[in-house]
A and B are shown apart, each in its own frame.
Chain A
Amino acid sequence: MYKKVMVIDDTYEDRYVVKRINQKYPFSEDLILMESAADALDYLLSKADASEELPDIIFLDIRMPEIDGFGFLERFERMPDTVKKKMIIIMLTSSLSPEDHKKAMNNKYVHQFINKPFTIEEVNKISL
């Protein structure tokens, strides 16, 4: 059981699925749903000095308007170390593109690459 998990996804249905799975098969005490990368970045910065309130895992979508998943990663790299060291990022996307996969896995903060749909089995496979 994780303390805090964050989901960044612009699609309502996909956030709903994660939320509902956590209700039925709890894997996180606290689940934060963010509908845009910008909101998520604001949240993380606001908690930079309170590391116990930062999430342990971020599930990050790639294709989003304004700031997409890769845009988020760029900005994440510029975050204070307290933020970067606290959490791991897992890409959660419906993209099958090998380029996306490679690009994401080359980023040192990306821990894993999961294809949608989100399932409890995938969560159980995560090894920190």
Chain B
Amino acid sequence: MVVNCLNAINNTDMNIKNMTITNADHENYIDQFVIQSKEKADKYINYFLLSFFAGGLVLAFFYDTWLVAIAVGGLSLLAYYSSKLALPKSNVYQYVLSIVLGIFMAQYIYQMHGMFEMHFIAFVASAILIAYQNWKLQIPLTIVVVIHHAVFGYLQFVGFERIYFTKLEYMDLQTFIIHIVLAAVIFFICGLWAYTIKEYNERQIELSFEVGRLQEEEVQKEALSKTNDELRKSNMELDKFVYSVSHDLRAPLSSILGIVELAKTETDGDIIMEQMSLIKGNINKLDSFIKDILDYSRNARLDSEKEEINFKESLEDIINNLKYIGADNRKVDITYKIENETNFISDKSRIDIILNNLISNSIRYQNPETQTPFVNITVNTSDTEAHISVKDNGIGISKENHKRIFDMFYRISKKSVGSGLGLYIVKETIDKLEGRIQVNSEPGRGTEFNIKIPNLREMNVSLIP
């Protein structure tokens, strides 16, 4: 039981370790998300920039502005990609992009000789920059647009040739102010969107982490309460064990003491002989109880041995030793059959404990109404497992007791002899061997225990000639 407690603790410990999401994981996850959205935006920008460059070439047809289209567009692309290559880890290239988009606007306006609609390119640029979710990227674009408008507007109106800003002969202040205000509104709104989307995404990530953390806490709580239950159960079993052991060890002793006190005053030889045999019975009871406790404790403490099992030898020994149990019982016909004997590897002492307990139960609980009490043991071994059946025509076990017979210290009735540990030990021992046990029984008809125990033989061993 103490071993069980420790296992329970260890398991939970491991579970908690596996489940904990560290802060580092959390930050990693946010970084991952930022990198992913940046990579996606970069991909789009590649297409946008190429389209801008191609657009410049198309516009070159109108006023024959090939040099501007190729030189300004080319230099812009060069500026963007070289900054990106030179500083791949920093966001500088995004600011360069913001400038480059402003310059494309200026280039388009120039190429179309001040065509008003080309001013809209600034709005397209502003919208594109939302992709990086950084409102500050609107600033370089704004600066470029302001400088371009101021310089080119001024130069055109003071009369420079071949400077194109607008097709208007004269732009009045009102038009100019509306132009500026609209541009400012667009840049502001795009910046606001960039900022809002970023905030929203970050909050979303925080939230999903919080949910994850809560779920994880829940799982940990469950694991802890499970361990707690297991520990409580083990503790209760331990209490019950100590109580039962102290009682069951003392009970035969107090019986012996009572008879010894009596015997001191007896004079009749026959009565004294009877009392001696009662004392002997109690000593045997005590002895087998101590053996049971030893079996139990050995099974709980020791690891499984691996050795070849000779079922014939084991069964012969066990049957031979059991000849003397149940003095007032009739002789039970014990037969065994070993089928398909293959090389079976398991723990001999544990197999013996299982067989010994089951066969002695069959002898003890024989049916007085049967003419020919018997126990049949069948062993069938294969490469993967041994199937053992212990079948008798004894008093049988009623259905409601099938589950409880494997409980510690469970004794079905006053007819039960022994410590109430036998089948509990059988079950614990089979568990240790990773096997299974199943009972078929009917009162008055008999009982059959079916056991499957895995063969621990390494398969490659058998291949060696």
In the complex, A117→B256 CA distance in Å? 8
User: Among the listed B253, B265, B278, B281, which residue makes an inter-chain contact with A24, where contact means beta carbons less than 8 Å apart?
Assistant: B265
In the complex, A116→B259 CA distance in Å? 11
Q: Closest Cβ of chain B: how far from A88's Cβ, in Å?
A: 22
**Structural contact, B262 and A17, CB atoms closer than 8 A:** yes
Report the stretch among B201-209, B293-301, B383-391, B406-414 that lies at the interface: B406-414
In the complex, A12→B327 CA distance in Å? 15
**Structural contact, B411 and A118, CB atoms closer than 8 A:** no
**Structural contact, A16 and B278, CB atoms closer than 8 A:** yes
**Structural contact, A65 and B416, CB atoms closer than 8 A:** yes
**Structural contact, B259 and A13, CB atoms closer than 8 A:** yes
Decide if B4 is an interface residue (CB 8 Å cutoff): no
User: Among the listed B248, B255, B259, B413, which residue makes an inter-chain contact with A65, where contact means beta carbons less than 8 Å apart?
Assistant: B413
> Given A13-B282, A21-B262, A117-B255: A66 and B413 within 8 A (CB)?
yes
Number of A-B residue pairs with CB-CB distance less than 8 Å in the complex they form: 68
Q: Which residues of B have CB within 8 Å of A65?
A: 411-414, 416, 420
Within 8 A of A (CB), among B259-284: 259, 261-262, 265, 278, 281-282
Closest to B250 in A: A94
Q: Which residues of B have CB within 8 Å of A21?
A: 262
Decide if A46 is an interface residue (CB 8 Å cutoff): no
Closest to B260 in A: A117
User: Among the listed B255, B411, B414, B416, which residue makes an inter-chain contact with A116, where contact means beta carbons less than 8 Å apart?
Assistant: B255
**Structural contact, B247 and A63, CB atoms closer than 8 A:** yes
Digitize B430-459: 1 where CB-to-A-CB distance is under 8 Å, 0 elsewhere: 000000000000000000000000000000
> Given A13-B259, A24-B265, A97-B243: A63 and B414 within 8 A (CB)?
no
User: Among the listed B246, B265, B281, B412, which residue makes an inter-chain contact with A13, where contact means beta carbons less than 8 Å apart?
Assistant: B281
Q: Closest Cβ of chain A: how far from B172's Cβ, in Å?
A: 104
**Structural contact, B247 and A117, CB atoms closer than 8 A:** no
**Structural contact, A115 and B254, CB atoms closer than 8 A:** yes
Decide if A107 is an interface residue (CB 8 Å cutoff): no
Q: Which residues of B have CB within 8 Å of A16?
A: 259, 278
Q: Closest Cβ of chain B: how far from A31's Cβ, in Å?
A: 15
Q: Closest Cβ of chain A: how far from B39's Cβ, in Å?
A: 71
Q: Closest Cβ of chain A: how far from B452's Cβ, in Å?
A: 30
**Structural contact, B414 and A36, CB atoms closer than 8 A:** yes
Q: Which residues of A have CB within 8 Å of B253?
A: 94
User: Among the listed A14, A96, A119, which residue makes an inter-chain contact with B255, where contact means beta carbons less than 8 Å apart?
Assistant: A14
In the complex, A95→B412 CA distance in Å? 21
> Given A11-B255, A16-B278, A117-B254: A64 and B414 within 8 A (CB)?
yes
Q: Which residues of B have CB within 8 Å of A66?
A: 412-414
User: Among the listed A10, A17, A24, A36, which residue makes an inter-chain contact with B258, where contact means beta carbons less than 8 Å apart?
Assistant: A17
Digitize A59-73: 1 where CB-to-B-CB distance is under 8 Å, 0 elsewhere: 000011110000000
In the complex, A116→B253 CA distance in Å? 9
* Complex A-B: 12 CB contacts under 8 Å: A13-B259, A16-B278, A21-B262, A36-B413, A63-B247, A66-B412, A66-B413, A66-B414, A94-B250, A95-B250, A116-B254, A116-B257
A residues with CB within 8 A of B:
10-14, 16-17, 20-21, 24, 35-36, 63-66, 94-97, 115-119
